[in-house]
């Protein structure tokens, strides 16, 4: 349904601006008159024609995409308005006037209209699955059922902001090593492909036996200069094949297993999965979602097939009367400390708080591991680049030294 931006006058003669959904401009004007305001100007804001087909790439849609941080900021504002006693529709209307992202403004207007028509907020959010996850929708549903929607939205905002901050710290820690790797590889490729051939050409013209390092350098340089497109095509083909294999169930299962078993990265991936498990399950339980429903949602969020299979078995065993800790104790991917903390939480009735503590512990450990890894990567990358440069310099200097000895 198209979205229309309007300028109207209320009964007191004050100017009001906003957006609303309607089938046509005439329908939009009728809708405004039905609310007791007189439309002055009504124009289409975002048409389906400009948005393109669903799923198709559009530069406009890419530039106007909604970032997770924007969603959680709106969630925080909605929680504050509801906590202050403002009705839901009025709160959504107030948010629409403050949102600057056109796409988010449009979706919020659609949600407001759906709520205004008598639908629940959870149902209205479920019509936009790309923006609102199952975790978000289920917690909102629980908040509406329990009458504590403002509290649940506040927890959702806190959860999302915490996840965003953690992701940002991880990305910031990896930026410098990645920059060194890409920049260094690019410089070496340019050096070996375009500079070295001009230097080594004079050695070939002398028709003398070259040292082994120089022969290797000349061969590599000639190959890259002639067949660089083959190397690029080969790398792209390997990446494409790996991606296609990962999309298959067996390939996805194997890839997730490799991620957990890698010597250095495996423990980090495991800790991040456990932190995601604890944080999400704790947030859902605090929001009033049942344990079995929460586990079903967590299963799709842990982002690892092996741990998802463990959760499937846990759901079956809990349905048969077993405890959460007892079910998790059979898995090798859940350490004994995690199981014991969950057991204590179940016994004391503080499972939600214990799950938050588990998430805090594993997030800190994962972050410290990543920081240690990146601090080690920097000198290792510099040393590797230095060794390659040293090899290039020696390969060039050795023939020169031999020529000097022949002259003497």
325-335: pLDDT as tens digits: 999 998 888 99
Count of helices and strands (H, E) across the chain: 18, 3
Q: Check residue 50 and give its pLDDT.
A: 42
Please tell me the distance from the alpha carbon of residue 285 to that of residue 38, in angstroms, as a whole number.
47
Nearest to 264 by CA among 366, 162, 130: 366
User: What is the average pLDDT score of the chain?
Assistant: 82
Q: Could you give the percent of the chain with pLDDT greater than 90?
A: 16
One-character DSSP codes across 267-300: HHHHHHHHHHHHHHHHHHHHTT--HHHHHHHHHT
Q: What are the φ/ψ torsions at residue 18 (nearest 5 degrees)?
A: 180, -170
Q: How confident is the model at residue 208 (pLDDT cuts 50, 70, 90)?
A: low
> Model pTM?
0.67
Please tell me the distance from the alpha carbon of residue 224 to that of residue 192, in angstroms, as a whole number.
8
Q: What distances in angstroms separate CA 380 from CA 139, 176, 290, 373, 388, one per listed residue?
A: 45, 13, 48, 10, 12
Residues of the chain with CATH 3.10.20: 1-63
Nearest to 343 by CA among 355, 360, 356: 355
pLDDT by residue (tens digit) across 105-114?
889 988 988 8
Query: What top-level class would CATH report for the domain 1-63?
Result: alpha beta
pLDDT by residue (tens digit) across 375-397?
888 888 888 888 888 888 888 88
CB 295 within 8 A of CB 281: yes
pLDDT by residue (tens digit) across 293-309?
888 888 877 778 899 89
Please tell me the distance from the alpha carbon of residue 80 to that of residue 60, in angstroms, as a whole number.
32
Please tell me the distance from the alpha carbon of residue 202 to that of residue 187, in angstroms, as a whole number.
23
Please tell me the distance from the alpha carbon of residue 140 to that of residue 127, in angstroms, as a whole number.
14
Residues 6+ apart with CB under 8 A from 18: 5, 6, 93, 96, 97, 109
Q: How confident is the model at residue 276 (pLDDT cuts 50, 70, 90)?
A: confident
Q: What CATH code would you report for 187-408? A: 1.20.81.30
Least-confidence region, from 11-15, 243-247, 326-330: 11-15
Q: Check residue 3 and give its pLDDT.
A: 67
Neighbours of 285 (CB within 10 A): 20
Q: Check residue 158 and give its pLDDT.
A: 84
Tokens at residue 55, please?
């799923």
Q: Check residue 59 and give its pLDDT.
A: 39
Q: Is the pLDDT of residue 227 over 80?
A: yes
CB-based contacts of 264-267 (< 8 A; 24+ apart in sequence): 264/373, 267/369
Q: Check residue 5 and give its pLDDT.
A: 73
Q: Is the pLDDT of residue 283 over 70?
A: yes
pLDDT by residue (tens digit) across 166-194?
778 777 777 888 888 888 888 888 888 88
Q: What are the φ/ψ torsions at residue 17 (nearest 5 degrees)?
A: -125, 150
Helix axes 149-190, 265-286, angle to 10 degrees: 160
Please tell me the distance from the alpha carbon of residue 302 to that of residue 276, in angstroms, as a whole number.
6
HSE, CB side, 13 Å, CA atoms: give it for residue 326: 10
pLDDT by residue (tens digit) across 137-162?
888 887 887 788 888 888 888 888 88
Q: Check residues 30 and 335 and name the one with the higher pLDDT.
A: 335
Q: What are the φ/ψ torsions at residue 45 (nearest 5 degrees)?
A: -90, -55
Region 210-219: mean pLDDT is 84
Residues of the chain with CATH 1.20.81.30: 187-408
Q: Check residue 52 and give its pLDDT.
A: 41
Q: Which residues pair with 20 in a beta bridge?
A: 4
């Amino acid at each position: 349904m198209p979205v229309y931006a309007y300028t109207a006058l209320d009964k007191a003669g004050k100017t009001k601006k906003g957006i609303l959904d309607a089938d046509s401009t005439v329908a939009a004007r009728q809708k405004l008159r039905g609310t007791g305001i007189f439309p002055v100007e009504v124009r289409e804001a975002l048409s389906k024609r400009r948005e393109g087909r669903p799923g198709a790439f559009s530069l406009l849609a890419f530039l106007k995409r909604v970032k997770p941080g924007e969603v959680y900021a709106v969630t925080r504002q909605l929680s504050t308005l509801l906590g202050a006693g403002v009705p839901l529709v009025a709160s959504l209307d107030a948010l629409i006037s403050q949102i600057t992202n056109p796409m988010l403004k449009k979706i919020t207007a659609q949600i407001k209209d759906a709520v205004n028509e008598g639908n629940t907020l959870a149902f209205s959010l479920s019509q936009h699955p790309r923006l609102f996850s199952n975790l978000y929708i289920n917690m909102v549903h629980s908040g509406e059922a329990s009458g504590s929607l403002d509290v649940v939205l506040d927890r959702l905002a806190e959860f999302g902001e915490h996840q965003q901050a953690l992701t940002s710290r991880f990305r910031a820690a990896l930026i410098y090593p990645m920059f060194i790797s890409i920049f260094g590889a690019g410089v070496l490729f340019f050096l070996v492909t375009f500079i070295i051939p001009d230097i080594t050409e004079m050695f070939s013209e002398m028709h003398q036996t070259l040292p082994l390092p120089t022969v290797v350098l000349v061969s590599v340089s000639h190959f890259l200069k002639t067949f660089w497109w083959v190397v690029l095509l080969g790398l792209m083909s390997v990446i494409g094949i790996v991606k296609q294999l990962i999309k298959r169930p067996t390939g996805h299962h194997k890839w997730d297993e490799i991620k957990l078993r890698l010597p250095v990265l495996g423990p980090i991936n495991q800790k991040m999965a456990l932190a995601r498990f604890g944080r999400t399950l704790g947030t859902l339980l605090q929001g009033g979602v049942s344990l079995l429903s929460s586990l079903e949602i967590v299963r799709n969020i842990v982002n690892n097939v092996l741990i998802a299979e463990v959760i499937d078995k846990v759901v079956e065993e809990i349905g048969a009367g077993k405890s959460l800790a007892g079910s998790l104790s059979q898995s090798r991917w859940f350490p004994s400390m995690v199981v014991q903390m969950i057991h204590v939480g179940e016994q004391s009735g503080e499972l939600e708080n214990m799950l938050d503590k588990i998430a805090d512990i594993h997030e800190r450990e994962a972050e410290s591991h990543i920081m240690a890894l990146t601090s080690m990567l920097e000198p290792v990358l510099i040393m590797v680049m230095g060794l390659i440069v040293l090899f290039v310099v020696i390969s060039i200097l050795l023939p020169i030294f031999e020529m000097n000895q022949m002259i003497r």
